[in-house]
Structure 1
Amino acid sequence: MPSIKICVRNGYKVKDASMWVDYIDLLEYFHLDTRNAHYVCPKNLKKEHDKLMTRKNRVEAKRKAEEARKNAKQWEAEYKAKKGMYFGICFGNEDIQIAVITSVADIADEGEAMHHCVYSNRYFNKDNSLILSARDKEGNRLETIELDLRTLEIVQSRGKCNGTTPYHDQIVSLVKDNIGLFRKAA
């Protein structure tokens, strides 16, 4: 392996062999020169390893998100047939707007932006589940709401990373106050 010869030639002592091998794999992943002492013999192996690992995680997350959007296309017609009668329902107040999410691709975007499983757990494919998005007046996502279409009750309303927000009670109240819109649409 040329990288090992470069270490020997430069008097570089590898203190953590498994991390160094992982680091070399990361260099190859990013098509960086594994025959260059600048890369192969870092002054701070852990720091450089962690930097490349963070970069790889970002690249992989972006790739997964793009793949999710592509996969979402196959579900669009079925989603529209099952939930289309609710599309266009939106309501709110001066601070919050709540609307039914009208496409599987938008559900994928919601899951990615909010860092939760609304897309990966296929809520769009659950017969009695309707997904809504609550946003502030600037359009920033606040919470994602799951409504049970059989009971017309809120199953869950979650902010980023499944957390709660200062708007939670207000969001729940707005949905309950406007539940008649869903009854009419059914």
Structure 2
Amino acid sequence: MTHSGTSPNQWVYPRTKVTDTIKRNGYTTFTYGAHPVMMFQQLLTNPKAETLMKAGEEGLFRYLCHHPKEVDKYWDTIKVARRAGYKIDDPQMWFDYIKMLDRMGRDLHSPTLVAPKDLKAVHDEYVAKAERQRIKEQREKDRKRAEEDEAKFEELKGKYTGLVMTDGEIVVHTLNSVAEYYDEGSRQHICVGSSSYYLKENTLVFSAKIKDKTIATIEISLKDYSIIQCRAFANKVCQYQDRITKIISDNIKMIAERKRA
């Protein structure tokens, strides 16, 4: 599943004053599409955020603001990729790929693996490998894991299931079970199931359809309700992204009410 493409300064008032510490840590008036509160918190407390901002790593910095623990966990791998001269243009896809490598016990210090020439190709290859691995597992183990995942999913996402919103043509609805995440991933050739998006604590995944045909899979942040990524079939750019963004924006209140429930 990419970032929705927000303007780098959409949150910032034209005339701003910040502390010398924030300036020293790399802030130059650009937020890189991150919410200012999240951005300043990271700049003031996380040396990795300072490193990424000073290096001009817009995508990685924005990803860190939403997923600081993931960046911290795979920081050594990020350094391996950067030393290899690799530019992480699509952090969401790259982290999905790295996490699949991690789950399969691959060497995360191998430049050949972590700095691929064709990220999408190897990402899709490992999505397929992850799916084959899942299928090959013993049936009883699958059953027990599915029961555990479903229980955890219900705990994390139960209050959001059944959410539906529309602009009259596009219908956007939540994925309401672990099985639906895997079905969506299989149908759309994305890793929303195999990368266990259903267990993410602070995000929510929607499917967008026109006349029962899936046109996009959307992940939003449950912290500020921004769109983290919006993917069409096989991780392609969705031509309806602007309309989907408006649908989500128009219904933030409904999502927030579920969060408070």
5+ unaligned residues in a row in structure 2: which ranges?
1-127
Alpha-carbon distance in 1 for matches of 2:171, 2:183: 18
Q: Which residue of 1 aligns with 2:256?
A: 183
Distance 1:141 1:73, change over 3 A: farther
| Residue 223 of structure 2 is aligned to residue 172 of structure 1 | no
8 Å contact kept, 2:230–2:238: no
Separation of aligned partners in 2, 1:73 and 1:160: 29
CA contact (8 A) 1:73 1:104 kept: no
Q: For 1:112 and 1:72, how far apart are their aligned partners in 2?
A: 17
Moved over 3 A (4+): 63-66, 68-74
Deviates more, 1:87-96 or 1:71-80: 71-80
Inter-partner Cα distance in structure 2 for 1:101 and 1:65: 23
Q: Structure 1 CA distance, aligned partners of 2:151 and 2:258? A: 19
CA contact (8 A) 1:73 1:105 kept: no
Aligned in 2, Cα 1:123/1:139: closer, same or farther, shift over 3 Å? same
Query: Secondary structure at the residue paired with 1:75?
Result: helix
Deviates more, 1:67-76 or 1:167-176: 67-76
Mapped partners of 1:128, 1:104: distance in 2: 16
TM-align CA RMSD: 2.4
Q: Quick check: 1:93 aligned with 2:167?
A: yes
TM value normalised by structure 2: 0.44
In the TM superposition, residue 93 of structure 1 has moved relative to its aligned partner by: 2.1
**AA in 1 matched with 2:150:** E
1:180 & 1:65 partners in 2: Cα distance? 40
- 1:149 equivalent in alignment to 2:222: yes
Structure 1 runs not aligned, ≥5 long: 1-59
TM-superposed CA distance for 1:165, in Å, is: 2.4
Deviation of the 1:73 alpha carbon: 4.2
Of Structure 1 and Structure 2, which has the larger fraction of its residues in strand? 1
Q: Distance in 2 between matches of 1:117 and 1:100?
A: 16
Map 1:29-40; keep pairs closer than 5 Å.
Answer: none
SS of equivalent residue, structure 1 residue 119: coil
TM-score (norm 1): 0.61
Give identity over the alignment, percent: 30
**Could you tell me how far 1:106 is from its partner in structure 2?**
0.2
In structure 1, what is the equivalent of residue 188 of structure 2?
114
SS in 1 for 2:220: strand
- Which gives a bigger RCO, structure 1 or 2 (Cα 8 Å, sep 6+)? 2
The alignment partner of 1:156 has SS state of strand
The 3 A distance-change label for structure 1 pair 158 and 184 is same
**CA displacement at 1:116 relative to structure 2:** 0.8
Q: Tell me, yes or no, if the aligned pair for 1:114 and 1:161 is still in contact at 8 Å.
A: yes
1:76 corresponds, among 139, 150, 170, to: 150
Partner of 2:52: none
Select the structure of larger CA radius of gyration.
1
Amino acid at match of 1:64: R
Q: Report the Cα offset of residue 66 of structure 1.
A: 7.9
* Matched position secondary structure for 1:146: strand
Instruction: Say whether residues 1:135 and 2:209 are aligned partners.
Output: yes
Q: Secondary structure at the match of 1:166?
A: coil
Match of 2:132 in 1: 64
State how far apart, in whole Å, the 1-side matches of 2:233 and 2:227 are.
18
Note if 1:159 corresponds to 2:227.
no
Q: Is the 8 A contact 1:65 1:112 kept in 2?
A: no
